[in-house]
Homo-oligomer: A and B are copies of this chain.
Amino acid sequence: MKRIDKMQIAMIGDKMLPLEDVGPEYLDRGIFFGDGVYEVLRSYNGKIFAIDEHIARFERSLGEIEILGVDIDEIRTRVKRAFDKAGLANAKIYFHITRGSGKRDHLPEANIKPNFFLTVMELKDNAKLKDEGVAVSIYPDIRWKRCDIKSLNLLANVLAKQDAEKKGCWEAVFVDDASFITEGSSSAFFAVAGDKLQTAPLNANILPSVTRKYIVKAAANIGLKIVEESLTPVAARIAGELFLGVTTRDIIPVVKFDGQVIGSGRPGKWTKLLIEEFKKFTT
């Protein structure tokens, strides 16, 4: 690199270069601020599940943080195009849009253009998760107060998941200051007691989960009453059945909660019925 008297510099790892030679991918507001929103979808046997709901939620997320000028139909087309190209029957589709690239400043530059990024990956079957269930830990809900927006600010979720792993758990559920469970670090949380299915009501601290919507529908189909009320960890420990709703795995039974074995330590009756009922949506 030529030394001139004054220049703006960047360093990537230990490599120095003139700032003007740095590509926009390094100057993405997604990395500087998490200034973007995302979605995760999956396909079952060659068909993308609930694409309309995911696209609608994505559009809402974009609007809530005022990322403007995105053609949502073009996004839908890209998702389908990439999925078709991949040719994977069971795929996980991730995509995000950030506000764009530019000089790092909280205020974006006036004519900034959003950045789009997507991946289609193979989603391997994991029957064990459904057959045996998983253990779940609890973690304080230290997330921001707009978890209804599916944003790239997910450090609290990462910390919760790391903590869960240390405890030998597959997932962590967040517990707020009022001692209520909000949701999992990457899942919605459900309890069954008697003939009632309980889950937290949707509010600013809860992502409007697409899987949740279908679980509620499946629950109604099999005769469960839906109760939208937040659950405490104490109530969860004594619930008959617990499970998670996850886009990539629909329903995952929870057989241990914060160290406490749930029910018989095996996936419960209603949970198994729900898993079967959910399959009707995906076939």
Q: Which A positions have Cβ atoms within 8 angstroms of B?
A: 1, 3-14, 16, 19, 22-23, 25-26, 28-36, 65-66, 74, 78, 81-82, 85-88, 94-96, 98-99, 103-104, 106-108, 115-122, 140, 142-146, 151-159, 161-162, 165, 185-186
Most chain B CB atoms below 10 A, which of A14, A22, A23, A31? A31
B19 touches A121 (CB 8 A): yes
Report the bound CA distance from A105 to B115 in whole Å: 21
A31 touches B30 (CB 8 A): yes
**Oligomer: number of copies:** 2
B65 touches A8 (CB 8 A): no
Known contacts A31-B31, A156-B146; A16 and B98 CB within 8 A of each other: no
Please indicate the chain B residues that have their CB under 8 angstroms from the CB of A7 in the complex.
85-88
Q: Which 7 A-B pairs have the closest CB atoms?
A: A34-B34, A142-B145, A106-B161, A153-B153, A11-B118, A33-B154, A30-B31
Report the bound CA distance from A85 to B194 in whole Å: 69
